[in-house]
Structure 1
Amino acid sequence: MSAAGRTGHERDRARAGEVRGAVIADLRSTLHRVPMPRPWSPDMTGIHLVVTRLTTGDGRTGTGFSWAPWVGGPAVHALLESDVRDAALGLPAHPEVVFDRLWWHLHEAGRGGLVTIALAAVDLALWDLRAAADGLVDTLGRRRDAVPVYGSGVNRHYSLDELVAQAERWAALGRTAAKIKVGRDDLAEDVERVAAVRRVLGPDARLMVDANQLWDLPRAIRAAEALRPYDPYWIEEPLPAEDVPAYARLRASVDVPIALGENTYTAYQFRDLLTAGACDIVQPNVVRVGGITPFLRIAELARTFDVPAYPHLLPDISGQLACCLPMPAMVEDVEDASFAALGLLTEPHPIRIEGGLLYPGDHGGHGIRFDADALAATAVERPGYSGG
C-alpha cells in the first residue's frame, strides 16, 4: 500500500514502532554481481551489490544495500555478516543511534572506506523502516516535488563518434545538462571531445566534465583554461581526492567551479574540504559516506558554507534525497546504470525521469524493492559462506 493510501491510524502505528523501543533482532546480507549492459571500461563489465534485510524484534523488516562498482563487494559483505551484524543485534532500531554506535565500534577497521560502505546497508534499512508510513521524501521533509537530472556516462574509453552518439541520446531524452569524462593523455583530445558534446547539446545546456583524479595541479590549471571556451558548469575531481591543499590552490587559480566529494567518506573530511575553501560543490555518495544519516549531516554542514550538495550516482535513492536538501541540487543519471535500468527492481520504481526532471514516487519507505528473480540470478556464493 502506498503512503497516501494508509489511514492515519496505520501511519501512527508504523511511526510508533521506533518509539516503542524496537530493537534489531536480525541482519542478513547477500552478495550479487550484476552485469552491466554498458560497461564502464573494457575490464569493468559488472558491479557488486550487497542487499541487506534487517528485522526488528516486533517483526518489521527493512531493506538496505551497499554497492561497490569496482572492488570491495565481497569484503563489504563479509564485514556485514560478521562484525557489523554482531555489533548491531540488540541495538534500538533508530538510524542516528545505530550509525554513531556502529561507526565508533568499527573505527579500528577504518573510519571510512569499507566500514562506511558496509554501514550504509544498515542505515538504509533503518530509514526504510522509519519512512514506512509516509515515504522517505515526506519523512525527511519535502522541499521540492522534482529535481533536475543530468545525463552522465563512464565514457573516457569511448571513441569520439561513440561519445557524440551518447550526447545525442541525452539530447533526444530532453536532458538539458550532461557530464562527460576527461583526462585522456593528450589535453587536445579532451578539448576536441568537450567541443563536440557542446555542439550536440547546444550553448544553453549545462555541461560538466569529470577528470576522476587524473591530473596534477599544473595540468588542471592548463585544462581549465583550455576548456573555458566551452563554458564548463564544473570540473569534477581534477586532482587526487585527498589533496586538500592542492584543491584550495586550484580553486584560487581558476574561475571554473570545482566539484568533489564522491571519494570522501566522513563528515570530518568534508569539513576539511569546506574550511580549506577547496570546492564549490560537494558530491557525497550516500553509500560511501555510510547512509542517509551521515549524508544529511554532510549536506547541512555544506549549507553553512553556502555550498550545495549534489548527490553522487544512485539516482533511485539520490533523487529522493535531492528533493529534501536545503539547497537545490541536480541528480546524476549514468546511462543504463541505475538499479531500475539494470533490471534489479520491481515496479513501481521509486523514481521516474521525464525529460530533464526526476520525480519521486508514491511509496512507503525508500521504495527500493529488489526483484527476487534478479537477485537469485546474480547471487555470488563466497567460499566458506553458507548464506544468510
Structure 2
Amino acid sequence: MSTISDIKVDYYKLPLIGNLVDALHGKHDHFEIILATVTTSDGTQGVGYTYTGGIGGVAIAKMLELDLAPKMIGKQLPRLCKHYGYEQFQKFNLDMNNAIHYVARGGIASFVISALDIAIWDASLKESSLAIADIFGTRQTTVKTYHGGIDLMLTEKELLESLEAKLKEGHTRVKIKVGQENLSDDIDRVRAVRNLIGPDAWFAVDANMVMHPDTAIRFAKNIEKYDIAWFEEPTNPDKYKDYAKIATNTTIPIAMGENLHTAYEHELAFDIGNVKEIIPDCSNVCGITGFLDVAHLAKVRGLNVNSHGMQELHVNVIGALDNPGLVEYHSFPIYLYTNEPLIATNGNLVPSKTPGTGVSFNFEKMEKEKQ
C-alpha cells in the first residue's frame, strides 16, 4: 500500500464575470481556489481543492501548508474496502480533524481538511482505476441540476432575461436570490419568475441568512402559492430552533447546508431545525468524506442529498449515491478552469467516468492567476 510522500499547496485568485450580488455578502468580483496536490510513494498524484467567495484563501492555504500537510506526510493512503466502504477515509479524515481542531474546528479547518481529503480520494481512486461515481456500485447515468443565480444586482427585467438565457443553455430548474430591504420587491420577483418559467418548472429561493424568522415566515406565506421547491437559508444557520419555527409555519420545505461545516452540524439541522432539503458542500464539510457522511444522515431519514457549488465535483459524488438530490450549477465558474466539459442538457448532468474524482485542472489557463 502506498504512502503520502509530498503535499503541495497552491493559491489562485480568479475573476468573476461582472459583479455578482447577494443579500448578505454584497458584491463578488473574484473567488479563490486553494489546491492541494498529493504525491504518493507509487508516484500517483491526486489533486483536491476548496474555494471561497474571495476572503480567507490565504489563511486556508497557509494552514494547509504549514499545519496540516506536514502531519499527513508518511501516512498510508486510504483505500475503499469491500465490506467496510469508506471507513479508511473516515479514519484519515478524523486524523486530520484531530490535528488542527483546537484552533479552528468547523471553520477554516473544515476548508483545509476538505482540500486535502479530496486530493486523497483522487489519488486513491486513481491507484484503483476507479471513478468516484462507481464507488458504491450505484452509479447514476444522469444527475439533476438547477441553475443557482447570484442575481440581486439585476433589475426584474434583467433577471428574467438572464433566466431565459439559462433555460436556452439547457437548464430547466432555477433558484434566485431574495432578501432585499422591501419584502414586496422579493415577492414581485418571485411572481415574475414563476410567470416566466411556467407553473410546472422547479423553482427555489435563497435568502442568504438575512431574514428575521418572523419576516421569513411572512415572506414564505406570501409565496406559497407559487409552488416553491425550497426556501434556502432564510435566517442565521446557527439558530436551528428558528429554522424549526419557520418550517412549522410554511408548507415550503426549508433548506440549508452550505454554512454547516461538519456532519454533526448537519445532524442538528435535521433533528432540531426540521430541515428537509440538505445542501452540503465538499469544499467546507471536510471534503468528500464529510459529504458522504451527510448523505448517510439524509438517507436514514428518508431524504435525498443536494449540493452547493463545485458542480464539476458534486455531479460525480452525487452520481455515486442511491439518494441523489440536485446539483447546484453555481455562479462561481470553477468548471471553466477544468479539463472536462460540464454541460446541462434538459436539466441534467452526466457523471464523469474518469478514474479519480473526475476533476482535473487546466493549470496553463490558471497560471496567471496564481498568487
In the alignment, is the contact (CA less than 8 A) between 1:156 and 1:182 conserved in 2?
yes
- Map 1:1-388 onto structure 2 (within 5 A): 20=1, 22-41=2-21, 43-94=27-78, 95-132=89-126, 133-335=129-331, 337-341=332-336, 344-346=337-339, 348-349=340-341, 351-380=342-371
Q: Compared with structure 1, are the counterparts of its residues 268 and 237 closer, same or farther at alpha carbon in structure 2 (3 Å cutoff)?
A: same
Map Cα deviations across residues 142-193 of structure 1 (whole Å, 9 max, x no partner): 3411011111210112111111111111222342211000011111100111
Q: Secondary structure at the match of 1:37?
A: strand
- The normalised TM-score by structure 1 is 0.88
- State the alpha-carbon separation in 1 of the partners of residues 263 and 351 from structure 2: 26
Aligned Cα root-mean-square deviation (Å): 1.5
- Any conservation in 2 of the 1:76–1:117 contact (CA below 8 Å)? yes
Report the more deviating stretch, 129-138 or 234-243: 129-138
The one-letter amino acid of 1:176's match is T
Identify which range, 137-146 or 245-254, moves more after superposition. 137-146
Match of 2:83 in 1: none
* Corresponding pairs, count: 355
Deviations 1:229-279 (A, max 9, x none): 211111000010100111111111111100011100111111111121521
Q: Which amino acid aligns with 1:200?
A: L
| Paired AA for residue 86 in structure 1 | P
Gap regions ≥5 residues in structure 2:
79-88
Matching residue's letter, 1:147 = V
Q: TM-score, normalised by structure 2?
A: 0.92
Secondary structure at 1:122 match in 2: helix
Q: Report if aligned partners of 1:316, 1:338 keep a CA contact under 8 Å in 2.
A: no
Instruction: Give the counterpart letter for 2:176 in structure 1.
Output: I
C-alpha distance in 1, partners of 2:63/2:44? 23
What's the CA shift for 1:43? 3.8
Range moving further from structure 2, 88-97 or 64-73? 88-97
Could you tell me which amino acid in structure 1 is paired with residue 354 of structure 2?
A: H
CA distance in 2, matches of 1:283, 1:334: 13
What percent of counterpart residues are identical? Answer: 28
* 2:36–2:48 contact (8 Å) kept in structure 1: yes
Q: Secondary structure at the match of 2:33?
A: strand
What 5-or-longer segments of structure 1 have no aligned partner?
1-19, 381-388
After superposition, the Cα gap between the structure-2 partners of 1:161 and 1:184, relative to the gap in structure 1 and judged at 3 Å, is: same
- Report if aligned partners of 2:46, 2:122 keep a CA contact under 8 Å in 1: yes
- The one-letter code of the counterpart of 2:261 is Y
Distance in structure 2 (CA, Å) of the matches to 1:283 and 1:43 = 23
Offset of residue 198 of structure 1 = 0.9
Letter in 1 for 2:6: D
Letter of the structure 1 residue corresponding to residue 70 of structure 2: D
Q: How far apart are the structure 1 equivalents of 2:200 and 2:189?
A: 18
Amino acid at match of 2:97: W
2:326 and 2:93 map into 1 onto residues whose CA distance is 27
The amino acid across from 1:28 in the alignment is K
Q: Secondary structure of 1:263's match?
A: coil
**Could you tell me which amino acid in structure 1 is paired with residue 62 of structure 2?**
A
Structure 1 residue 318, shift from structure 2 partner: 0.8
Q: How far does residue 210 in structure 1 lie from its aligned partner after superposition?
A: 0.2
Paired residues of 1:352 and 1:361 also in contact (CA < 8 A): no
CA deviation after TM superposition for structure 1 residue 37, in Å:
1.4
Per the TM alignment, residue 228 of structure 1 is displaced from its structure 2 partner at its CA by: 1.5
SS at match of 2:192: helix
Letter in 2 for 1:87: K
